[in-house]
Amino acid sequence: MVDIIHRVGIRTPVEKVYAALSTIDGICGWWTRQTSGASEPGARIALQFYSPDGSKVGDIEMQVVELEPDRHVHWRFVSGPEEWIDTDATFQLAQDGDWTIVRFGHRHWREPGEFTEHCSTKWATFLLSLKEFVETGRGRPSPADLWIGNWH
Amino acid sequence: MVDIIHRVGIRTPVEKVYAALSTIDGICGWWTRQTSGASEPGARIALQFYSPDGSKVGDIEMQVVELEPDRHVHWRFVSGPEEWIDTDATFQLAQDGDWTIVRFGHRHWREPGEFTEHCSTKWATFLLSLKEFVETGRGRPSPADLWIGNWH
């Protein structure tokens, strides 16, 4: 089984990273500006992704499975790319001196393949956007996200 | 088992991407400026990584397992971080219209953990450096590589 895994260190207190992951305004700052819904356990968050030219690239809806302040965020995807449905994204947070360490997983892919590989690289760019957003106030959420190839 | 996987699309003919992966000068352009050795099957390539302040961050030596022009590059790590020894990095290349698609894997980790997660994100940044290097002539090889946290 292939999972997507990443780790970034963000030079900031853990509370700021948790806020960027657990609030709608926070998610708008690093993943996509078009984020709506309610960030609380059992509720759903809808995300839309656009190109800089205004065309829609994708739609995702996810359920918030768990929010443990300053420790853990767990989402399950309920609609979007077929490969994402019923997969899980988790963020484990820990403070280490001046740093907040984010350990990320996107797991439970049924048939990993080229699209999983694309998503792995794309997740890296969004986690670096999260890092920039929290450290500087300015991330690269869609539609300002970094294009990594012909699949956006 | 957790593997590191990535995919990037580079808007260039496949020959240029293959050259960046299969020659010492090419590797110097995107991974680390301190690359030496011989890039041919059975030979070894040594890489050293530095901080911008000049301190050494790491050393890696790898054996070139296979070079298939414009298709495939396979390296096996023979020294460096203990977790890397006897693991394999592979790059599969394919031309798709104006794009060269790079499918990357770093596989055969014995005990994946937080360091594997760090390396996954770090590989994403080096693959984006490869993309920039081939597309623009200017990558971000060590010591100009992007720092992604407290582990460099």
> Which of A151, A41, A92, A117 lies closest to B127 in space, CA to CA?
A117
Does B114 contact A at CB distance below 8 Å?
Answer: yes
Q: What is d(CA A117, CA B106) in angstroms, rounded to the nearest whole number?
A: 12
Q: pLDDT of B78-134, one tens digit each?
A: 999 999 999 999 999 999 999 999 999 999 999 889 999 999 999 999 999 999 999
First to last CA, chain B: 25
For residue A1, the model assigns a pLDDT of 62
Concatenated DSSP letters of B58-122: EEEEEEEEEEETTTEEEEEEEESSGGGTT-EEEEEEEEETTEEEEEEEEE--SS--HHHHHHHHH
* A135, closest residue in chain B (CA to CA): B149
Does A94 contact B at CB distance below 8 Å?
Answer: no
The amino acid at B108: H
Q: How confident is the prediction along chain A (152 residues), in pLDDT tens digits per residue?
A: 679 999 999 999 999 999 999 999 999 999 999 999 999 999 999 999 999 999 999 999 999 999 999 999 999 999 999 999 999 999 999 999 999 999 999 999 998 899 999 999 999 999 999 999 999 999 999 999 999 999 98
For residue A32, the model assigns a pLDDT of 98
The answer to whether residues A32 and A139 touch, using CB atoms and an 8 Å cutoff, is no
Does B117 contact A at CB distance below 8 Å?
Answer: yes
ipTM above threshold 0.90: yes
For residue A2, the model assigns a pLDDT of 76
The pLDDT of B4-33, averaged and rounded, is 98
